Structure 1
Amino acid sequence: MSDDLARLLEPLRNKIRLLAGRAVVSLLKDVVTVQVKLLDGEPKEVEMFQQYGFRSRPLPGAEGVNLSGNGIRDLTYVFCVDDRRYQLDLLESGEAALYDHLGKHVHLKADGSIVIKADTEVLVDAPFLKCTGQIIDNCNSNSVSMQRMREKYNAHVHHENDAGGNTGGPSEVME
């Protein structure tokens, strides 16, 4: 290639090199603006795009893909931010999970089950909670379902001290 042609193509080549790259999150401004480090640690405040219906606030050190519109650094955006330091190793092919840096997660498993791991509690803020199947509490040590507990309650009687027989069942059954 001639030197003149190489000199003419150099600006285009530079813009192409600046189109895409890896960005490392260094600071979160809010849920859509982050400061990232680009090539050679170049700091840049950019907009972070996320999937509809999902928001996260990645920790400093998380990585993402940066795109610069037309190769212009002033038009840089970051997306697909992930943090390999905290990725779950328990996923099998076809599975998905929502997780954080503390080990809490919601794991959609290939067998159709869902595992929720929380350190303290799971709060369902709803006026009514429905379940189409059985509920078992203390499942690691108890195999009695809520249905079995209702049946046992409805059938229970007490020994009557005065007449020597048993009382009838509860005046109100649990359904």
Structure 2
Amino acid sequence: MKLIRQQIGQMIDNAGNAIRQVFRGKINLTKSADKIQKVQVSALADETLQDVELMQQFGFTSHPPSGTEALIIPIGGKTSHSVVVATENGQFRVKALKTGEVAIYDQSGSSIVLKQGKVIDINCTTLNITAPTINIKGNITQKGSITNNGDVTSSGVSLVGHTHTGDSGGTTSPPN
């Protein structure tokens, strides 16, 4: 009976060893045009995996640069049907976050950091916002100049359409 248990144990071990476990690799290139991105990954023992699906959380997507570390799960233990479930690139990652802070970043150094104390830091060269209406509650502090291609109204007074009472009685014409 002991011999049978040993043989069964050995068979289970052999079967388990034949199934590929989760492993690490490095992304070489990314194809981002399809519904699900696919990557080429260099893995252990100089193997290169082609068209590995890159699974990402809904609402978040990235195009990881070459050299990004990847955590790869072989579906059903088969390397030929693997998926990348996590990526990390310490070269570009925002470092020294405090507990609970969150960052979105790219390889050029742009970042959005949600910080403790309800503070959001945005670091970029140009910030483009496309919205028909922007509502801000609170004060705005501005450093630098503002260029505007439309009217500015403050407390109901139009910068373009306002007039002043003239020194000699009447009103001035609106600004040009």
TM-score with structure 1 setting the length: 0.74
Report the residue type matching 1:44 in the other structure: L
Which residue of 105, 129, 154 corresponds with 1:124? Answer: 129
8 Å Cα contact 1:23-1:63 kept in structure 2? yes
> CA deviation digits over 1:71-128, x for unaligned, max 9?
1112211111121111112411100010011111001001101111112x11111111
The answer on whether the counterparts of 1:23 and 1:78 sit within 8 Å (CA) in structure 2 is no
Percent identity, please. Answer: 24
- In structure 2, how many angstroms separate the alpha carbons of the residues matched to 1:159 and 1:72? 85
Could you say which residue in structure 1 is the equivalent of 2:28? 26
Q: CA deviation at 1:70?
A: 2.1
Residue pairs, 1:73-112, within 5 angstroms: 73-112=79-118
Rate the CA distance shift 1:25–1:137 in 2: closer, same or farther, 3 A: same
What displacement does 1:134 show? 1.5
Aligned to 1:12: 16
Is 1:115 matched up with 2:94?
Answer: no
Pair 1:39-2:44 in alignment: yes
Counterparts of 1:170 and 1:23, CA distance in 2: 71
Report the number of matched residues.
156
Specify the SS of the correspondent of 1:89.
coil
Summarize the Cα distance change of 1:5–1:83 in structure 2 as closer, same or farther, 3 Å threshold.
same
Instruction: Quote the Cα distance in structure 2 between the aligned partners of 1:169 and 1:129.
Output: 32
The answer (yes or no) to whether the contact 2:166–2:172 under 8 Å persists in 1 is no
Offset of residue 158 of structure 1: 8.2
The SS at the match of 2:91 is helix
- TM superposition shift of 1:170: 10
Kindly state the Cα deviation for residue 30 of structure 1 after the two structures are TM-superposed. Answer: 1.9
TM-score by length of 2: 0.74
Instruction: In structure 2, list runs of 5 or more residues that go unmatched.
Output: 146-152, 159-163
